[in-house]
Amino acid sequence: MILSKLTKPNHFFHLTFFQRYKTLPFNKPKTKPSHPKKGHKKSSRKRKDSPPFVTDVKEARDSDEALSLFHEYHQMGFKPEYPSYSALIYKLARCQDFEAVEEVLGYVLDNNVHCQETLFIALFQHYGKAHLVDKAVELFHRMTLFNCVRTSQSLNGLLNVLVDNDRFLEANELFDKARKMGFRLNSVAFNVMIKGWLEKGEWDQACKVFEEMLERKVERSVVSYNSLIGFLCRNGELDKAKGLLEDMINKGKRPNAITYALLMEGLCSIGEHNGAKKVMFDMEYRGCKPTVVNFGVLMSDLGKRGKIEEAKSLLSEMKRRHFKPDVVAYNILINYFCKEGRAAEAYKVLFEMQIAGCEANAATYRMLVDGFCRVEDFEGGLKVLNAMLTSGHSPRVETFRCLVFGLVKSGNLDGACFVLEEMEKRQMTFCSDDWEALVIESCSGVESIGEHVNELIMG
């Protein structure tokens, strides 16, 4: 390896790092993990509501192991039915192994298995998250081949995927053709289209869809009103939003906590924090109990204005009033503590939420790791990273990068190697520019190191 040429004593620091973590197997082929041995009993196998195959698939670590189980069971003479196929497909879709999903759907088709509509709706959602919208559209048109009747739920699912992936014109075309295709449009379909028009900033078009609901005798839901109220509030038209709220109440629709939270956000956006607090009082008077969401709006506004202690006192008030703060409420505090360079206090909030029985999510840990990196407390960041990985969450590449560079700079080579190894396990790596910067950072003072970087990366 090229770094073995650097034998001068003052290169000891840099050599140590790259000897501990030599070169990543950048193009290492994916290997299939070993799966449980035949006849291996797991504690969860005691559940009587699921066949053994379904239980094993749910506990599989990844798509390779799930597929291995499927083929192993098949060789043992197992005849899968719909619950087994659906459990496997759900697992593969969550792992975003869509090639394997298509393979298993082929088995389903060949064996003439009767499928439930919920399976396809879930697949639409997974395809949408992966931006494979054409796959979702194709599957929608193939559903009937799987002995599955398409209802308005499937239509709604596909409309939502199209709108969320900026394919609004296709969504609008499908919406217009829905009746001819035999679908009965319900409030969910109209709400999706209202959302789509508003995301494009087309208020008048959204209102036309809202009025069309009356024409077609489709009952407007709270969601219908909330979409319009939210748009008005985001655009500073608070008087119109309040008028729509009154119209909603007069029409017999009871606003929910989200309705009032939207109004509160609108008021906070124009600096009316006290007005937002009054809305929370008024909603109780009108018979709508505040939720964590409403407190969260006020906490977030206080955090933006640098009043973190007041935001923290609101959290205490929630507890006094027997509201159990959720992860979003705690994350608001953690976020603003980190932004102000108070990572140690943010870490205390993590401890408090865990004591209260609230489980941290990926965003919690990411904010904390980034917060510690921001104040150059890389040891603290590494401690949070360990907790994050133990909990089953994973940072973004950017967070890994910041932590590796910081640990190298501070001389913690073992920590940097550990982070790089964790990246490798998740098939994450740096771009060549990042590797070059890392080598230069760790080998600062070494002459002509740049010409050797490519050799280092390629092994």
Q: Predicted confidence band at 41 (pLDDT cuts at 50, 70, 90)? A: very low
pLDDT digits (tens, 9 = 90+) for 267-276: 999 999 999 9
Q: What average pLDDT does the segment 378-403 reach?
A: 89
State percent of the chain over pLDDT 70: 83
User: Is the predicted pLDDT of residue 374 greater than 70, yes or no?
Assistant: yes
Least confident segment among 136-145, 384-393, 422-431: 422-431
CA distance 79 to 88: 14
Q: In this structure, which amino acid lies at residue 128?
A: G
Q: Predicted confidence band at 74 (pLDDT cuts at 50, 70, 90)? A: confident
Q: What is the pLDDT of residue 20?
A: 53
Q: What is the pLDDT of residue 43?
A: 41
Q: Which of 376, 382, 451, 374 is nearest to 416 (CA)?
A: 382
Q: What average pLDDT does the segment 242-255 reach?
A: 93
Q: Which of 199, 185, 120, 195 is nearest to 158 (CA)?
A: 120
Contacts of 226 (CB under 8 A, 6+ apart): 256, 258, 259, 262
User: Is the predicted pLDDT of residue 36 greater than 50, yes or no?
Assistant: no
Q: What is the pLDDT of residue 444?
A: 59
